[in-house]
């Protein structure tokens, strides 16, 4: 990058359980959300089934990823970008935001803070880089002119328009319900000692910070050998530990990304 640092050439994704590398994927995109579906498909190709549960950080919480997991029957413990803010003890949602407005499902309209109905005026379509089309509904207030709140929180010209992605809001609601359950709290706690800990051991304990080859095929081979060695080393230390404590390790069916 002309400053002595090298630019990452590959985005490595790993999925772990009990700190064993169950699968890995190498992508040539810097964007994590776009890697999730091909990564789960790679897991399916390897094991002929999807994991029962997928746990991932907020970077993966997109509409297409939630939808894919729901359709594949994977329990999604995947955060979204506002999740941590919402969990703060003194969090108060912005009372003027679209999420805070009353929504009438039967009539498909919102009610603004001054009690006006905001009627549906259309749909916005956006296409992600993977080609997924996301639809957001648009609602418009009838008349904002002369409203005492006009200018205090809403300064644009004309009447206020809001855009709401209903499917995404519903996926987030389900994710929030899961993530705040007893099981969800446990998964959230474990995630930082699953793939993150494995990356830490790889990079800092074992010094594996750079691939030794160029080209996707060769880099895949490079990391596959490393992953086999890593898992063997982990297995030996688990067996030794289990023999010492008389305990054993079990397969929980959880895939931490
Ligand atoms: S500015 Fe418009 S949308 Fe906002 S409270 Fe007033 S009338 Fe309602």
Q: Which of 127, 114, 133, 126 is nearest to 163 (CA)?
A: 126
Residue 143 alpha carbon, nearest atom of ligand 1? 7
Whether residue 251 sits in one domain with residue 185: yes
Q: Is 111 left (phi over 0), alpha (psi -120 to 50) or beta?
A: beta
Whether residue 161 sits in one domain with residue 130: yes
Ligand 1 center to 95 CA (angstroms): 12
- For residue 126, which phi and psi values (nearest 5 degrees)? -125, 145
Whether residue 238 sits in one domain with residue 188: yes
Q: What is the mean pLDDT of residues 29-36?
A: 90
Decide if 68 contacts 43 (C-beta within 8 A): no
Residue 150 alpha carbon, nearest atom of ligand 1? 1
Ligand 1 center to 148 CA (angstroms): 8
Q: How confident is the model at residue 177 (pLDDT cuts 50, 70, 90)?
A: very high
In-domain check, residue 42 = yes
Ligand 1 center to 167 CA (angstroms): 25
Whether residue 29 sits in one domain with residue 131: no
Q: What is the mean pLDDT of residues 88-99?
A: 83
In-domain check, residue 206 = yes
Handedness of CA 65, 224, 253, 87 (dihedral sign): negative
Is pLDDT of 250 > 60?
Answer: no
Q: What is the mean pLDDT of residues 5-21?
A: 89
Q: Look at residues 137, 166, 195 and tell me which one is the last residue of a structural domain.
A: 166
Per-residue pLDDT at 156: 83
95 vs 254, more confident? 95
Q: Residue 192: CB partners within 8 Å, gap ≥ 6?
A: none
Q: How confident is the model at residue 170 (pLDDT cuts 50, 70, 90)?
A: very high
Protein residues with CB under 6 Å of any ligand 1 atom: 112-114, 116, 141, 144, 147, 149-150, 154, 160
Q: Residue 77: CB partners within 8 Å, gap ≥ 6?
A: 53, 54, 55, 56, 175, 178, 179, 183, 184, 187, 188
Ligand 1 center to 187 CA (angstroms): 42
Q: What is the mean pLDDT of residues 213-233?
A: 94
| Residue 246: CB atoms within 10 Å | 6
Domain range for 66 is 11-86+180-256
Task: Give the residue, out of 110, 138, 150, with the most ligand 1 atoms within 8 A of its beta carbon, to mutate for a pocket test.
Answer: 150
- For residue range 46-78, what is the model confidence (pLDDT) as tens digits? 999 999 999 999 889 999 999 999 999 999 999
Whether residue 25 sits in one domain with residue 70: yes
- For residue range 112-166, what is the model confidence (pLDDT) as tens digits? 999 999 999 999 999 998 899 999 999 999 999 889 888 888 788 889 999 999 9
Ligand 1 center to 109 CA (angstroms): 14
Whether residue 106 sits in one domain with residue 210: no
Residue 114 alpha carbon, nearest atom of ligand 1? 5
Ligand 1 center to 106 CA (angstroms): 22
Whether residue 113 sits in one domain with residue 157: yes
Average pLDDT for the chain? 90
Q: How confident is the model at residue 103 (pLDDT cuts 50, 70, 90)?
A: very high
In-domain check, residue 3 = no
Token pair belonging to 248: 């054993």
Whether residue 79 sits in one domain with residue 185: yes
Ligand 1 center to 84 CA (angstroms): 29
Residue 218 is inside which H or E element, if any?
A: helix 216-245
Q: Provide the whole-model pTM.
A: 0.86
Decide: helix, strand or coil at residue 60.
helix
In-domain check, residue 228 = yes
Please state which of the ranges 20-29, 38-47, 106-115, 243-252 shows the lowest mean pLDDT.
Answer: 243-252
Whether residue 15 sits in one domain with residue 75: yes
Task: Give the residue, out of 96, 97, 154, with the most ligand 1 atoms within 8 A of its beta carbon, to mutate for a pocket test.
Answer: 154
Is pLDDT of 173 > 60?
Answer: yes
Whether residue 52 sits in one domain with residue 160: no
Per-residue pLDDT at 253: 65
Q: Whose CA is nearest to atom 1 of ligand 1?
A: 150
């Amino acid at each position: 990058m002309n400053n002595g640092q090298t630019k990452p050439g590959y985005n490595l994704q790993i999925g772990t359980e009990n700190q064993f590398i169950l699968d890995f994927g190498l992508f040539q995109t810097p964007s994590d959300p776009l890697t999730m579906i091909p990564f789960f498909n790679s897991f399916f190709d390897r094991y002929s089934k999807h994991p029962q549960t997928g746990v991932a950080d907020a970077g993966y919480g997109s509409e297409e990823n939630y939808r894919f997991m729901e359709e594949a029957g994977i329990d999604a413990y995947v955060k979204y970008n506002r999740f941590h803010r919402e969990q703060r003890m003194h969090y108060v949602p912005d009372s003027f935001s679209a999420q805070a407005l009353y929504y009438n499902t039967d009539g498909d309209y919102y009610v603004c803070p001054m009690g006006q109905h905001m009627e549906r005026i259309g749909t916005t379509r956006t296409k992600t880089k993977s080609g997924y089309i996301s639809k957001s509904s648009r609602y418009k207030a009838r008349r904002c002119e002369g409203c005492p709140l006009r200018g205090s929180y809403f300064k644009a010209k004309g009447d206020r328009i809001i855009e709401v992605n209903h499917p995404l809001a519903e996926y987030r609601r389900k994710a929030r319900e899961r993530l705040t359950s007893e099981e969800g709290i446990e998964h959230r706690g474990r995630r930082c000692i699953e793939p993150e800990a494995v990356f830490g051991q790889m990079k800092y304990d074992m010094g594996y910070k750079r691939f030794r080859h160029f080209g996707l095929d060769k880099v895949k081979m490079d990391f596959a050998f490393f992953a086999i060695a890593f898992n063997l080393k982990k297995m030996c230390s688990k067996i030794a530990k289990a023999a010492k404590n008389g305990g054993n390790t079990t397969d929980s069916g959880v895939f931490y990304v």
